[in-house]
């Protein structure tokens, strides 16, 4: 019996010829990631071990992105704790304010995560890098500390669900809509501790930006990881960025899957996830007219260049509704600068939007756009749990950048074709 791409990557990093679902492994890791929320806890655990050095200062990536620029004294102290650790241990890949980005946009951009690699991060959306054909998953701060010390982590080999997309992709349908369709179908626990392998002719035609979006939200279905086999689109993105050599992995034709689910995207409408779960999806036309106080475009899910271009094209020459505020968060400084050079930032500002430096900001209810009781937001972020973006009495709806931009103009949830 053959192996899936996920099983092959785990086997290679465990030094084994083959592995099987349910098997426990100790694997070497290629990258250990932390941010300003999770790293201080990991540092505390690391220091309890009494170690003088990390396993490899080139393989640890630290990014202050959640509460930065620092919103208060506590967040400033957390960021300082990271800086002190970086200086003490000579961590090479530390990205300070002004040079950083939202971590899951930044690492692929910088060529720090690559096909065939095993990446762990003390952030649940570390699964984003599976879009490159890597095994990438979130861990707790304690596991991060152990990996910084040893360069290893343990895993139970997950079973794999294969999601096959075919048909003709309609206008305005993006990776965000495809992953919302999956989550709406199987639920927020439908892939619990399972690998989610996305494939089919539609996936083959998707840009890297859309692939990152799909892999990013695997965790919203309970997935251990999301993964897409590398192809020419992947290699065109990676080559020239990569800081080291990498190995491509693919599922065998006779690989075993726990389940195979197929989706025909022909005639599909953009989707919106209603409060308070990403699985609560509806066609945009079904929920059109729901008034919105705030629209957020950005985050590690939809803060990439293609996302900004789609939103700007819809907003060009139009104004944000007078009773709605629009906040835009480019994923990295590089994306921000490219958007500036292309006139996209000008489009946003002329429309009445506020454009922020890269930060997670309101996505986790951190800062830069917190909701008051009774307020309603439409966001291109990944979660809409109770209180996710502010007061527990607020509401968050999830959508693609196209729907978000159109809705900002109308002040209510709006299909994008209604504002063209």
Summarize pLDDT for 279-315 with one digit per residue, the tens: 999 999 999 999 999 999 999 999 999 999 999 999 9
Nearest Cα neighbor of 165 from 200, 196, 195, 197 is 200
CA angle 368, 372, 375 (to 5 degrees): 105
Q: How far is CA 233 from the centre of its chain?
A: 19
What residues form DSSP beta bridges with 155? 25
pLDDT at 420 over 80: no
Backbone angles phi, psi at 108, to 5 degrees: -65, -40
- Residue 50: what pLDDT? 86
- Give the other-Cβ count within 10 Å of 253's Cβ: 6
- Residue 52: what pLDDT? 84
Question: pLDDT, tens digit, for every residue of 204-241?
Answer: 999 999 999 999 999 999 999 999 999 999 999 999 99
- Residue 364: what pLDDT? 86
What residues form DSSP beta bridges with 196? 161, 226
Look up tokens 């729901």; give the residue. Answer: 290
- Residue 366: what pLDDT? 86
In which band, very low, low, confident or very high, does the pLDDT at 42 lie, cut at 50, 70 and 90? very high
Question: pLDDT, tens digit, for every residue of 63-114?
Answer: 999 998 999 999 999 999 999 999 999 999 999 988 889 999 999 999 999 9
Distance CA(335)–CA(341), nearest Å, equals 10
What residues form DSSP beta bridges with 27? 153
Q: In sequence order, which residues have a C-beta less than 8 Å from that of residue 50 and are 6 or more positions away?
A: none
What is the DSSP secondary-structure string of 324-335?
-EEEEE-SBHHH
Nearest Cα neighbor of 374 from 360, 389, 364 is 389
pLDDT at 1 over 80: no
Cis peptide before 47 (omega within 30 of 0): no
Distance CA(317)–CA(420), nearest Å, equals 11
- Give the other-Cβ count within 10 Å of 292's Cβ: 25
Average pLDDT, the chain: 95
What residues form DSSP beta bridges with 332? 101
Q: In sequence order, which residues have a C-beta less than 8 Å from that of residue 72 and are 6 or more positions away?
A: none
b/e map 35-59, b = 16+ CB within 10 Å: bbbbbbbbbebbeeeeeeebbeeeb
- Residue 118: what pLDDT? 98
What residues form DSSP beta bridges with 26? 154
Give percent of the chain above pLDDT 70: 100
Q: Is the pTM above the cut of 0.75?
A: yes
Nearest Cα neighbor of 298 from 101, 114, 112 is 101
Distance CA(270)–CA(281), nearest Å, equals 10
pLDDT at 247 over 80: yes
pLDDT at 119 over 90: yes
Q: How many H helices and E strands in the chain?
A: 15, 18
Backbone angles phi, psi at 28, to 5 degrees: -75, 145
pLDDT at 277 over 90: yes
- Residue 394: what pLDDT? 96
- Residue 100: what pLDDT? 87
Give me the mean pLDDT over the 377-391 stretch. Answer: 92
What is the DSSP secondary-structure string of 130-181?
GGGT-EEEE--HHHHHHHHHHSEEEEEPPEEEEEEEESPPPTT--HHHHHHH
Q: What domains are there in the chain, each with its CATH number?
A: 5-262 (3.30.499.10), 272-418 (3.30.499.10)
Cis peptide before 69 (omega within 30 of 0): yes
Distance CA(85)–CA(93), nearest Å, equals 12
């Amino acid at each position: 019996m053959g192996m899936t791409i996920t099983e092959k990557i785990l086997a290679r990093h465990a030094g084994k010829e083959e592995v099987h679902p349910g098997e426990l492994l100790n694997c070497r890791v290629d990258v250990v990631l932390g941010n300003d929320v999770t790293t201080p806890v990991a540092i505390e655990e690391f220091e309890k071990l009494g170690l003088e050095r990390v396993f490899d200062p080139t393989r640890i990536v630290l990014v202050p992105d959640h509460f930065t620029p620092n919103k208060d004294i506590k967040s400033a102290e957390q960021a300082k704790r990271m800086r002190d650790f970086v200086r003490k241990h000579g961590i090479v890949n530390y990205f300070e304010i002004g040079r950083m980005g939202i971590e899951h946009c930044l690492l692929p951009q910088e060529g720090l995560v690559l096909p065939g690699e095993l990446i762990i991060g003390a952030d649940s959306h570390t699964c984003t890098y599976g879009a490159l054909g890597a095994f990438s998953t979130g861990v707790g701060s304690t596991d991060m500390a152990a990996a910084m010390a040893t360069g290893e982590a343990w895993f139970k080999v997950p079973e794999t669900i294969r999601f096959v997309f075919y048909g003709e992709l309609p206008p305005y349908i993006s990776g965000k809509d495809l992953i919302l369709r999956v989550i709406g179908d199987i639920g927020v626990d439908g892939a619990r501790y399972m690998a989610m392998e996305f494939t089919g002719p539609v996936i083959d035609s998707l840009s890297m930006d859309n692939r990152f979006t799909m892999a990013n939200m695997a965790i919203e279905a309970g997935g251990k990881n999301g993964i897409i086999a590398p192809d020419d689109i992947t290699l065109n993105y990676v080559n020239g960025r990569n800081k080291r050599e990498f190995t491509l992995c693919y599922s065998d034709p006779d690989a075993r899957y726990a389940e195979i689910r197929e989706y025909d995207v022909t005639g599909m409408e953009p989707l919106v996830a209603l409060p308070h779960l990403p699985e609560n999806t509806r066609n945009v036309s079904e929920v059109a007219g729901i008034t919105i106080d705030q629209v957020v475009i950005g985050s590690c899910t939809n803060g990439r260049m293609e996302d900004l271009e789609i939103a700007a094209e819809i907003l060009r020459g139009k104004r944000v509704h007078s009773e709605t505020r629009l906040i835009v968060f480019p994923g990295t400084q590089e994306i921000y600068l490219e958007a500036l050079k292309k006139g996209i930032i000008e489009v946003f500002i002329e429309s009445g939007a506020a454009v922020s430096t890269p930060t997670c900001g309101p996505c986790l209810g951190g800062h830069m756009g917190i909701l008051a009781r009774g307020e309603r937001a439409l966001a291109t972020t990944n979660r809409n749990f109770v209180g996710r973006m502010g007061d527990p009495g607020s509401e968050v709806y999830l959508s693609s950048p196209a729907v978000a931009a159109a809705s900002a103009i109308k002040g209510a949830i709006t299909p994008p074709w209604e504002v063209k």
